[in-house]
Amino acid sequence: KTATETMTKSASGELSVASIHNPSITPYLPSRDKANGTAILVIPGGGHRMLAITHEGYNVAEWLRDHGIAAFVLKHRLAREAESTYKIDVESLADTQRAIRIIRSRAKEWNIDASRIGAIGFSAGGELVSMAAAKPDSGSATATDPIDREPSVLQFQALVYPGRSGDIQPTKESPPAFLAASYTDRQDISEGLAEAYLRFKRAGAVAELHIYSTGGHGFGLRASNKRPVGNWIVRFEEWLKESGFVK
């Protein structure tokens, strides 16, 4: 936590963070004997006003690490908190792309296969993952900063009750997607994600959709989550294995 950030704890002990002006990633690296080479950038939600960093960030990263996947929790600049001068498609997206480049630039050091880097985003974080997946670039070969020479390409994406589902417009080249939401979420998210799935299919892009009967919005990863929604991350790991992203 830097001096500029504000951290709030809920009655249940979950943390949220705001006032982020120095973006960062927190690595969760599996032991070398357990690492399978896959890496995932984790982006919590919070309406671009704060980050729900416990149940949509740290808990997810710890689970992935314990299952051999290198995980990285992103703190990005927030476009909708009071008096923010940042924009979602400028600073927030740039922070996401920079995080992908950093992970790829240190792949050897972190025991990562650079061809198996993906991202998972929740709510507003899912919006950023979708944007990054739709706007990859190959990096700048002439950049002074070696990190900027790395591509911001994602090999796969996971969108969990993502914001602005209507903006998800896949092409045939879109990275494979794991999609999850709850039937009891807002209509624009539960129905919107189902419609986004159909757009993936019509575009010829690979996608798998899970709509759980309960869970509402923001279920994330909590020990208190009831099944079946509480097992969404197990389904996600199965999808990663079946798709060849976890070996």
Rounded Cα gap, residues 209 and 198, in angstroms: 10
Question: What would the mean pLDDT of 23-33 be, rounded to a whole number?
Answer: 97
pLDDT at 3 over 90: no
Question: What would the mean pLDDT of 181-195 be, rounded to a whole number?
Answer: 97
Residue type, 167: D
Q: Report the sign of the C-alpha dihedral through residues 123, 127, 132, 134, in that order.
A: positive
Rounded Cα gap, residues 128 and 220, in angstroms: 16
Question: What would the mean pLDDT of 42-60 be, rounded to a whole number?
Answer: 98
Bridging pattern class, strands 70-75 and 24-28: antiparallel
Share of the chain above pLDDT 90, in %: 97
- Per-residue pLDDT tens over the stretch 101-157: 999 999 999 999 999 999 999 999 999 999 999 999 899 999 999 999 999 999 999
pTM above the 0.95 mark?
yes
The per-residue pLDDT for 9 is 96
Which residues face 157 on adjacent strands?
Answer: 119, 177
Q: Vertex 193, ends 187 and 199: CA angle to 5°?
A: 130
Give me the count of residues in the chain: 247
- Cis-peptide, bond into residue 228, ω within 30° of zero: yes
The per-residue pLDDT for 1 is 45
